[in-house]
Homo-oligomer: A and B are copies of this chain.
Amino acid sequence: MIITLTTDFGFSDHFVGVMKGVILSIAPAAQIVDLCHGVPAHDILAGALSLEAGYGYFPHGTIHVAVVDPGVGSARAAIAVRTEHYHFVAPDNGLLDLVLQSETPQKIVQLTNPQYQLASVSSTFHGRDIFSPAAAHIAAGVPIEQMGEPIDELTQLKTPAPKIAGDAMEIHVLMADRFGNLITDLTRAAFERWNPAGRCVRFQWGGTEINGISRTYADVSCGAPLAYFGSSGRLEIAINKCRAADQINAPAGSAILVRIL
């Protein structure tokens, strides 16, 4: 059984390693895969985007654990969710929001049963004490129904969303990836609903303009900006062979105007 881990723990400390020790102590046959540990500290939206981009490439049956948890130790719930093909284990703070727009929950429980937690639960490291044990017990065959009471409503994530005004749309930068490419809140599906005829568009912010949507970096000359639908299905802004995030002043939340020509 595969268990993936997505956290903001980075690799500079022992946190991720300890989660693996806990999992393997409970479920020795689990196959643990790091989905992403470079989520910026406390950035729930970035964590949600990583999960969204990655979870579906894993075999059915995979258990996805996500821990970006600035409210650890407070009243926020710890949850496990079963969908048709996967399990998800996370704090209830919006981290699963994007994923659960594609995957319909069959069951959601609050992880309150101490039988499926470490004997001593800290107030600062539920990744070790609650989330890892829960995932390991799921891998070992325990139904989530045994792990706590069912709940129906989850905390929503506050995310920017494109604003449409006729032939114009305001979209927003969500984050920059490792290559400095800027990822936006415009999905290919939303774009095609807005522009079903596939008419040419222009992107504009500050003094910069991009005309049209490229297929890949090499479609423009070295150092030129481009807009394209990235590998996770969202519109991205990049500069061929450079880091757009360093050259374009567009931090998370920045608006970009899109106009049908």
Measured CB to CB, the residues of A under 8 A from B are: 2, 4, 6, 9-18, 20-22, 24-25, 28, 31-38, 41-42, 50-51, 53-54, 57-59, 62, 70-74, 122-125, 128-129, 177-179, 215-219, 228, 230-232, 241, 243
Contacts and interface: CB of A to CB of B under 8 A. Distances in A.
B216 A13 contact: no
B14 A73 contact: no
A117 to B, nearest CB: 14
Given A22-B57, A57-B25, A178-B12, A218 B73 contact: yes
Contacts of A32: 33
B2 A24 contact: yes
A124 to B, nearest CB: 5
Contacts of A70: 217, 241
A220 to B, nearest CB: 11
Nearest to A132: B57
Q: Give this chain's copy count.
A: 3
A60 to B, nearest CB: 9
A177 B11 contact: no
B216 A123 contact: yes
Contacts of A10: 38, 178
Contact of A20 (B22, B33, B219): B33
B228 A123 contact: yes
A35 B14 contact: yes
Contact of A11 (B31, B36, B228): B36
Given A14-B53, A125-B230, A128-B231, 13 more contacts: A6-B14, A10-B178, A13-B178, A14-B51, A18-B57, A21-B35, A21-B54, A41-B179, A41-B243, A71-B218, A73-B216, A124-B228, A124-B230
Nearest to A233: B122
A6 to B, nearest CB: 8
13 contacts: A4-B21, A11-B34, A14-B51, A14-B53, A17-B34, A18-B54, A18-B57, A21-B54, A21-B58, A73-B215, A74-B218, A123-B215, A125-B231
Contacts of A42: 241
Nearest to A175: B13
B11 A37 contact: yes
Closest 8 CB pairs of A and B: A73-B216, A12-B38, A125-B231, A17-B35, A21-B57, A123-B216, A74-B218, A21-B58
